[in-house]
Structure 1
Amino acid sequence: MTKIVILALDGEAIPLKEMKVTATQQFQEKDQSGQTSSTARAEQGIKAKELRISGVIPFSKPEILRRVFELGTATTSDGKMKVYRVANMTAQAIGFREATFSGQIDAPQLDGKMAWLVTFTLREFISVPEKKQARSDGKISSKVQGQAGGANATDGADESQKLSWFERNVLKPTDEALGKVVGGGNASA
């Protein structure tokens, strides 16, 4: 009988029993009403999506618990937290592709069972709102302007390497087409 993989990080299955995956996204805002009854709020941005994962690991499989902790504490050669490609139905449904471990990993003993209830959170790495903000801050548009101004062609190559296939082949052409429509038919204006 084949097992159905519910969650995989960089292609490695995370074999938790009774796994639950919960997607969350926070919309940061600040109350602007002071002491009045106003409902005014100041938007402070859309935060990265998160996946909260919980599941059971039997005491007879301590190597699984050890591996979860190893994945959570893994770092790159320059000391930054490792970024994982996430394979999960919920993640796929919300466009959640890459993540780092966030917060903490909990593994208390389950009452009445010889098992741990493991919970951890994966936070989206370079979320869509971050990409949008980077574009609006001019990080990407400055490269395009620099290339048009006579800079060498490697700037454009760098930009295409940073964009995913979907961004390069779907979103960018759509954005350019909308720019022509919204901009009055002249994209260079």
Structure 2
Amino acid sequence: MIMLNGQKVPGHDVKVRASFRLEDKDLSGMSSATDTAEGGIKPQTLSVSLIIKYDDKADLTRLIAMARATDTVGKRMVYDIYNETAQAGNIRKVRFTENFSYTEADSQRMWNVSFTLREFESVPEKIEQRQEQPAATEQTADGDTVGSAATDGQTTETPSAPAPDATEMHGTVWQMMKKFDAILGG
């Protein structure tokens, strides 16, 4: 049995299958390493299948209306859920998601109905929201300022030192090249 916002979901032979994904990304590239990056625990989903008899067509219509229902801002309706499987997974709130299908089973005069409910405000999501985010740190650079601001808002240039001669700029390599050039007669 499933109850959404206190209303029993209609139908017979109700089966609920719960699942969730543990996201990770392979970091091994072309190697045989087993490194992965964790991507978190995704919300649980409940896959529901049930049967509604042709005589209970109004029940199917009501269930379709529940799946299509939206709140005052146009988002799909969130339902409080009661179901043993949902309770075992600590699922308290859900909304219809992905696929809702109903298929005629003429020989038995009924519809096979299946749909998916996704957990809303999952426990891992709540834990993640409660964790403190690390504070941003201000980055600074070491060194001297190239220009300085004048009091009137204009910048003034700092006087530059005379350009070093080639020997000072290139050091030992330049001196060795000059010696080779002298030996070779250049």
TM-score band (shorter)?
0.5 to 0.7
Following superposition, the deviation at residue 111 of structure 1 comes to 6.4
RMSD: 1.3
Aligned residues: 133
Pick from 131, 135, 138: which aligns with 1:136?
131
- Quote the Cα distance in structure 2 between the aligned partners of 1:62 and 1:39: 53
Pick from 55, 58, 73: which aligns with 1:60?
55
* Match status 1:101 vs 2:96: yes
1:125-174: CA deviation from partner (whole Å, max 9, x where unpaired): 11011111111145xxxxxxxxxxxxxxxxxxxxxxxxxxxxxxxxxxxx
1:23-43: CA deviation from partner (whole Å, max 9, x where unpaired): 111111111121222222211
Return 5+ residue gaps in structure 1 as ranges.
1-5, 139-189
Following superposition, the deviation at residue 110 of structure 1 comes to 2.8
* Match status 1:47 vs 2:33: no
Question: TM-score w.r.t. structure 2 length?
Answer: 0.68
| Counterpart residue type for residue 33 of structure 1 | S
Q: What does 1:135-154 align with in structure 2 at a 5 Å threshold?
A: 135-138=130-133
1:88-121: CA deviation from partner (whole Å, max 9, x where unpaired): 1111111111111110201112363211111111
- Quote the Cα distance in structure 2 between the aligned partners of 1:137 and 1:51: 31
Return 5+ residue gaps in structure 2 as ranges.
134-186
Larger radius of gyration between Structure 1 and Structure 2: 2
| Counterpart residue type for residue 127 of structure 1 | S
**Identity of matched residues, %:** 38
Question: TM-score w.r.t. structure 1 length?
Answer: 0.67
Structure 1: 4+ residue segments shifted above 3 A: none
- Quote the Cα distance in structure 1 between the aligned partners of 2:18 and 2:60: 22
Greater shift in the superposed pair: 50-59 or 30-39: 30-39
Pick from 78, 84, 90: which aligns with 2:85?
90
- Quote the Cα distance in structure 2 between the aligned partners of 1:88 and 1:49: 14
2:28–2:34 CA contact under 8 A, matched in 1:
yes
- Quote the Cα distance in structure 2 between the aligned partners of 1:12 and 1:83: 13
* Match status 1:75 vs 2:93: no
SS at match of 1:61: helix
Pick from 104, 113, 128: which aligns with 2:108?
113
Q: Which residue of 1 aligns with 2:156?
A: none
- Quote the Cα distance in structure 2 between the aligned partners of 1:65 and 1:121: 15
SS at match of 2:39: strand
| Counterpart residue type for residue 12 of structure 2 | K
